[in-house]
Amino acid sequence: MRYCAAISFTLSLLFSSNLLAEKSTEESITKGTPIKSNNTPESTEHSKIYQEQTWGLGVLMRNAEIPFDTEADNVTSFVPMMFYQGETFFIRGIEGGAHLYQKNDWQLNAMARMRFFDIPAEYQNEVQGDTVDLGFQARKSFSKGSFFDVELFSDLEGNPYANLSQSWYFQHNSWEFMPKVSARYKSASFNSHYYALTSIADIPEQNIGAGIEVNAGIETRYHVAKNFYLLASVNATLLDKNAYESDTVNQRWQSEAYLGFAFFNDISKAKKSDLTNHGYLRLAHGWATPSNIGDILAGDTVKDEYNNQLSSIFYGLPLTDELFSLPIDIYLTPGFVWHWNSDVQDSEQEYVLAIKAYYTINWPVRWRIGLAEGLSYASDVSYIEASEMERKGYRPSELMNYIDFTVDINLGDIFNMNALNETWLGYSIHHRSAIFESASQFGRIKGGSNYNTVYVQFDF
């Protein structure tokens, strides 16, 4: 259960989150951008007033040098990223967590962070070395968005390390820059686990001593127009002497670069103090199908012969009610999914964290189309997914990309009943996949699983 502790920890935090956004000045490229807040409240029919949140959704290509003595020199990966900054909880691309303590310029944060293990692509499905680390961060903030961090982390197997880092923030017109320098102390067990590489190399097991590596890099973000931004970063790491002298390592320097785009709050506009969309609760039940998404959308769905089923509950936290000046409702939506036992599988749990967009069409009655993008972790891979992986010769991955296609209709409009004005009946495709072998963090897999589901959604 490689990711279970990290995913469960993050979702439990978000389910209990305060719904008002934090007025933070620490935001930058992967931390969000500071945006002014409009504090004039407006009347609403709902008891809860939702403010616009600091949010983002991006896709980036990551390219990293392989420091090991292998034929391949580089490895690339497709990395979807989510961003959210609340009063207590946050998501910053490949990391997230909670502010345990905040006073003046100091923070103490509990965090989970993804860390990549850069080996040749042909080994990544077998090894699945990308992992989520857990730890604590003490942060001292300075003026203009700069900060100093002290971190204590461990991987999920108990190999500890510590980070010291200093970051700066600069903005010029539509450009934002964040240079950063850091030093990492790696324990002997950490170095031995990640730099001996006995898992894919035919050599005796090594014990590598502890060491300190240093890193320098810069991230940048360019505001193209409205909610659309371009992102890029470059980093260089100097390995410590003990890691470099491992029998499997052949270079002292390792470089890393990201390039992509994202949707964020429009930096040129004040954040709204009263959104038109409100929170929701969605209850769903679904049936597995071996059909792919293209076949499902074409109406050519094949029934799963073992009738595997799931039930789910999703919560929707409003982030904004417009995108590119269009009336598109955006939500942060954590979810819990129960996969029922059957003749071929035991009951399993799935945890989802995603950002969901809805577009409402007001003819002839209100109906909506929706799309969510995020992460899904399964306590055990379902039969419908595992059987496909077995046919294709892949090792399954508990962590996968998550997509949710939906269409629903307002029951209040259908039955002309005011009591049902905030109730929707809908259909969704619950989809897990690994993005066509392009993502190392999902195990370099092609394929996944699909469930046709029906749901009732209640706005409040």
Phi, psi of 243 (to 5 degrees): -65, -40
Q: What is the pLDDT of residue 166?
A: 97
**Domains assigned to the chain:** 4-264 (2.40.230), 280-459 (2.40.160.20)
> Can you give the pLDDT of all 460 residues of the chain as single tens digits?
455 445 444 444 444 333 333 333 334 333 433 333 333 333 345 568 899 999 999 999 999 999 998 899 999 999 999 999 999 999 999 999 999 999 999 999 999 999 999 999 999 998 898 999 999 999 999 988 899 999 999 999 999 999 999 999 999 999 999 999 999 999 999 999 999 875 555 556 678 999 999 999 999 999 999 999 999 999 999 999 999 999 889 999 999 999 999 999 999 899 999 999 999 999 999 999 999 998 999 989 999 999 999 999 999 999 999 999 999 999 999 999 999 999 999 999 999 999 999 999 999 999 999 999 999 999 999 999 999 999 999 999 999 999 999 999 999 999 999 999 999 999 999 999 999 899 999 999 998 999 999 999 999 9
What residues pair up with 99 in beta bridges, in sequence order? 109
In 30-155, which residue ranges form alpha helices assigned H by DSSP?
A: 121-127
Q: What is the pLDDT of residue 372?
A: 98
What is the Cα–Cα distance from 190 to 137, expressed in whole angstroms? 19
413: which 2 tokens? 């409009």
Asked if 63 and 257 touch (Cβ cutoff 8 Å), the reply is yes
Identify the CA nearest to 334 among candidates 358, 351, 359, 319.
Answer: 351
What is the Cα–Cα distance from 452 to 296, expressed in whole angstroms? 9
Phi-psi region of 241 (alpha: psi -120 to 50; beta: other; left: phi over 0): alpha
* Alpha carbon separation from 100 to 89, 108, 158, 381, 430 (Å, rounded): 9, 5, 22, 33, 34
Identify the CA nearest to 82 among candidates 352, 327, 351, 296.
Answer: 352
Q: What is the pLDDT of residue 45?
A: 52
Q: What is the pLDDT of residue 205?
A: 66
Apex CA 399: angle with CA 397 and CA 404, to 5°?
115
Asked if 281 and 457 touch (Cβ cutoff 8 Å), the reply is yes
What is the Cα–Cα distance from 101 to 138, expressed in whole angstroms? 9
Q: What is the pLDDT of residue 39?
A: 37
What is the Cα–Cα distance from 290 to 346, expressed in whole angstroms? 19
Residue 313: other Cβ atoms inside 10 A: 14
Tens digits of residue pLDDT in 108-136: 999 999 999 999 999 999 889 899 999 99
Phi, psi of 145 (to 5 degrees): 85, 10
Instruction: Identify the DSSP state of 442.
Output: G
Q: Is 268 exposed, middle or buried (0-12, 13-18, 19+ CB in 10 A)?
A: exposed
Q: H/E/C letters for each residue in 199-260?
A: CCCCCCCCCCCCEEEEEEEEEEEEEEECCEEEEEEEEEEECCHHHHCCCCECCCEEEEEEEE
pTM of the model: 0.88
